[in-house]
């Protein structure tokens, strides 16, 4: 029965991590770009500024993931592995999304350039 208790403990930890990840995903769904002062900056600046802010956000996600990974590797007791893995996944997803946006922008540009006048 000792093994059974350990399995239940592991399952409980997995459920807690899943709940934390889902909470993190819900927080990401609300873009920071449209909150408060940044929304006003985007309206004044235009599409270029919006794109730059999105790229900067992806960059900061990647920098945070690298910082946490380095801290974990150096043995920082305040950083645990699930925290590192969640941040790495956030950085990966944001980079993949930015890549898809870039691909669609390039495709739209190619479509416009191939139109005959």
The reply to whether 65 and 22 lie within a common domain is no
Residue 41 has a pLDDT of: 55
State the pLDDT at residue 64: 94
Whether residue 59 sits in one domain with residue 83? yes
Q: Do 3 and 38 fall into the same domain?
A: no
Same domain for 38 and 67, yes or no, is yes
Cβ atoms of residues 65 and 94 within 8 Å: no
- What's the confidence (pLDDT) of residue 44? 64
Q: Which structural domain range is residue 11 located in?
A: 1-30
Number of structural domains the chain divides into: 2
> 74 and 22 in one domain?
no
Predicted confidence at residue 48, as pLDDT, reads: 81
Residue 41 and residue 26 share a domain: no
Global pTM reads 0.58
pLDDT score recorded for residue 49: 84
Q: What is the DSSP string of the chain?
A: -HHHHHHHHHHHHHHHHHHHHHHHHHHHHS-GGGSTHHHHHHHHH-HHHHHHHHHHHHHHHHHHHHHHHHHHHTT-TT--HHHHHHHHHHHHHHHHHHHHHHHHHHHHHHHHHH---
Average pLDDT of adjacent 10-residue blocks, the chain of 117 residues: 60 75 56 50 70 90 95 92 93 93 90 84
Looking at the fold, whether 57 and 100 belong to one and the same domain comes out as yes
In a shared domain, residues 67 and 91: yes
């Amino acid at each position: 029965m000792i093994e059974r208790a350990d399995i239940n403990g592991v399952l409980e930890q997995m459920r807690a991590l899943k709940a934390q990840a889902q909470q993190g995903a819900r927080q990401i769904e609300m873009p920071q770009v449209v909150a408060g002062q940044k929304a006003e900056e985007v309206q004044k600046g235009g599409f270029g500024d919006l794109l730059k802010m999105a790229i900067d956000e992806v960059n900061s996600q990647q920098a945070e993931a690298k910082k946490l990974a380095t801290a974990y590797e150096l043995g920082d007791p305040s950083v645990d592995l699930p925290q590192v893995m969640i941040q790495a996944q956030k950085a990966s997803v944001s980079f993949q999304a930015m890549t898809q946006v870039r691909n669609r922008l390039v495709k739209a540009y190619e479509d416009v350039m191939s139109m005959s006048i």
